[in-house]
Structure 1
Amino acid sequence: MSRELKVTAPAKVNLHLGVHPVADERGYHRVDSVMCAVDLHDELIISPSDRLSVEMEPPVDLPMEQNSVFRAADALSRALGRDARFAIRIVKRIPICSGLGGPSTDAAAAIMGLCRLWHVPPTDERVIEVARAIGADVPFFLYGLPSYLAGAGDILAESFPDVPRMPVVIVRPEGDGVSAGAAYKRFDARPQPTPDIQPMLDALRAGDCDEICQRAVNNLGPAARELEPAITEVLSWLSGQDGVRCSLVSGSGSASFAITETAEQAAAIARAASDQLGWWSHAGSTENSGPIVNFL
């Protein structure tokens, strides 16, 4: 059997993001986060090699050692006492600086792939600790189900396997995007009230999509909009489109998403955003799975 793997790395959207104006010893804010994976994926190809290396397609101007995938593979190999002699190629489809979890899902996909190769369960506490150390969103992608994460958004509190898949359209305006660090710094300058997580949890437990849409909120969104004013234009446009049940900034931006009544409406909105307004867009649905690992 070939030891070469292909791993899908899904993006995410935040149905609820409640940032508290308190940071932990790592510098992470306390966060109430409800995330869903979506059917927009990066792809990792992991091949045997004589050393650990990571390349991106298309290439980016970033030292390999700073890439989240390199850091995850290196940290996991040290935590497990293994030798990470792999060449990892990342095919990027998730736009960066968009609040869609690109670096985090790529790191989680690398962790899942190496766990498969090394016959280590991803639920191993050493694996979870590595994921948390790489980034607050990384543990979510190991689970994949719609989930509520507490702590710094890195501790699984509850999953919701019965939440139906929902049509979604994601739109990102042109520009460099918003880094999470910049968004949190702006939040710290003008903290927003932290929304109550309980109504969203009740809606998720009931699998009530109407109520989920009613309760969607992100108190980091105002900081993202201040840093990238075009986000406000995107949100205003999305909210006026046919079939939109709710629209929200995803994470720290600069992408926003809308949940729609039908897949056809999501596709029509995505086409209009791209063809008429020149924005990047994706139409699809929420998913109930994390990275998928396959031998090639």
Structure 2
Amino acid sequence: MTLSAPAKINLYLGVHTERDDRGYHKVDSLMAAVSLADIVTVAPAQELAVQTVPASDFPMQKNTAYRAALAMAERYGREANVCVTIEKHIPLCAGLGGPSTDAAAVIVALAELWGIDRTDPALDDIARGIGADVPFFLHASPAFYVGGGDVLATEYPALPATPVVLIKPREASVSTVEAYRRFDENPVPADKPGAIASVLRAGDAEAAYALVHNNLGVISAQMEPQIQTVLDWLSAQEGTVAVDVCGSGACSFAICDTAATAVYLAEAAQQNGWWACATELIPNTVQIDAPKKYKFL
């Protein structure tokens, strides 16, 4: 079984100083999927194994996909005897949700193979246990999450296939834990999400793009000056409709007026030595690409 595991951007990210019952920051997160995607293949095996292409520099047991498979096996009393191969296209340490979407792909694959309804609330619980962004990749896009950024509040009408350019300085990296610690030291107020939520409900994409906001991105740009360099460069380009940081970084994005603008900016960014990709918003998250080939007992 082959699945497409797309990246995401945050059209809105509001981190608050208040904590929930688990001790996590309260986070409001409005995410949208883009067509840049990892390709995840799940096949029968003698035992659980996870491999990435190119190969990871950490043990497979630490891979979110591996953890997701174990969590599914424990929840449903099954053996996760599969080999998971992840063809990586989404850069790590970018704020694009790569590890989260890979984990969601494994949850979706095992649910399909085991005959579990994708709407089973237990899947959201499993996803939440792997990471805050994982539940988003089980549902439609765009969607608004509350709590610790991991509880679905609202799904919105699909956005048009709006062009987006993604840019990440190759050596830039931001520790999410450190970003939150810096936020606690010097909190940046978050805009209220009501305005962007309202225009999304009305299906007004252009109005939504004018309200893009990320208060944690301000902290990330302070921590990693190259992020601010990219943001300033994008903001100075013709054809960028909105510019902000993806999650906690180190990738930034620009919503563009045309696909040609996104391609031009990606090529120009690569000339600057940055990783870059021209992509577009999509209405779906993790999708099974190939017909079901396996049925596990």
Q: Is it true that 1:36 corresponds to 2:20 in the alignment?
A: no
Counterpart of 1:54?
A: 50
Please give the secondary structure, in 2, of the residue aligned with 1:220.
Answer: helix
C-alpha displacement of 1:195: 1.4
Matched, 1:245 2:241: yes
For the residues of structure 2 that align with 1:87 and 1:22, how far apart are their CA atoms?
Answer: 41
Report what 2:280 is aligned to.
285
Question: Which of the residues 75, 100, 107 maps onto 2:103?
Answer: 107
Segments of 4+ in structure 1 off by > 6 A?
none
Task: Write the letter of the residue equivalent to 1:172.
Answer: K
Residue 166 of structure 2 corresponds to 170
Contact in 2 for aligned 1:77/1:84 (Cα 8 Å)? yes
Structure 2 residue 222 is the aligned partner of structure 1 residue 226: yes
Identity, % of aligned pairs? 44
1:147-192 CA-partner distances (Å, limit 9, x unpaired): 0111111111111124222110000012141132222122122111
Residue type at the aligned position of 1:284:
T
For residue 163 of structure 2, what is the amino acid of its counterpart?
P
Distance in 2, Cα, partners of 1:137 & 1:8: 16
The residue aligned with 1:202 is 198
- Give the match for residue 273 of structure 1: 269
* Contact in 1 for aligned 2:157/2:201 (Cα 8 Å): no
SS of residue in 2 equivalent to 1:231: helix
In the alignment, residue 254 of structure 1 is paired with which amino acid? A
CA distance, structure 1, for counterparts of residue 181 and residue 64 of structure 2 = 21
Structure 1: stretches of 5+ with no match in the other structure: none
SS at match of 2:183: helix
The Cα shift of 1:27 comes to 3.8
Q: 1:88 maps to which residue?
A: 84
Question: What is the identity, as a one-letter code, of the residue corresponding to 2:155?
Answer: S
- Determine the C-alpha separation between the residues in 1 that align with 2:158 and 2:34: 16
The AA in structure 2 aligned to 1:272 is: A
Question: What CA distance in whole angstroms lies between the structure 2 residues aligned with 1:256 and 1:249?
Answer: 4
| Helix, strand or coil at the partner of 1:71 | helix
Q: CA deviation at 1:57?
A: 1.1
1:128-139 correspondence to structure 2 within 5 Å: 128-139=124-135
Which string of whole-angstrom CA distances, capped at 9 and with x for unpartnered residues, describes residues 13-34 of structure 1? 0000000112334342111110
- Tell me the SS of whatever aligns to 2:174: coil
Are residues 27 and 64 of structure 1, via their aligned partners in 2, closer, same or farther at CA, if it must alter by over 3 Å?
farther
1:187 aligns with 2:183: yes
State the TM-score, normalized to the length of structure 1. Answer: 0.95
Q: Distance in 2 between matches of 1:41 and 1:163?
A: 18
Moved more, 134-143 or 208-217: 208-217
Q: 1:257 aligns with which of 225, 241, 253?
A: 253
Letter matched to residue 152 of structure 2 = L
The amino acid across from 1:244 in the alignment is T
Tell me if structure 1 keeps the 8 A contact 2:157–2:200: no
* Residue 56 of structure 1: how far off its partner (Å): 1.1
Residues 14-55 of structure 1 deviation map (CA, whole Å, 9 limit, x = unaligned)? 000000112334342111110000000011111111111111
**Structure 1 residue 65: Cα displacement:** 1.1
- Does residue 146 in structure 1 map to residue 142 in structure 2? yes
Most deviating of 188-197 and 231-240: 188-197
Q: Which structure 2 residue ranges, 5 or more long, are not aligned? A: none
Secondary structure of the residue aligned to 2:124 is helix
Cα distance in 1 between the residues matched to 2:240 and 2:166 = 12
- Deviations 1:247-289 (CA, angstroms, capped at 9, x unpaired): 00010000000001111111111110012x0110010111100
Helix, strand or coil: the match of 2:55? coil
TM-score by length of 2: 0.95
Which position in structure 2 is the counterpart of 1:156? 152
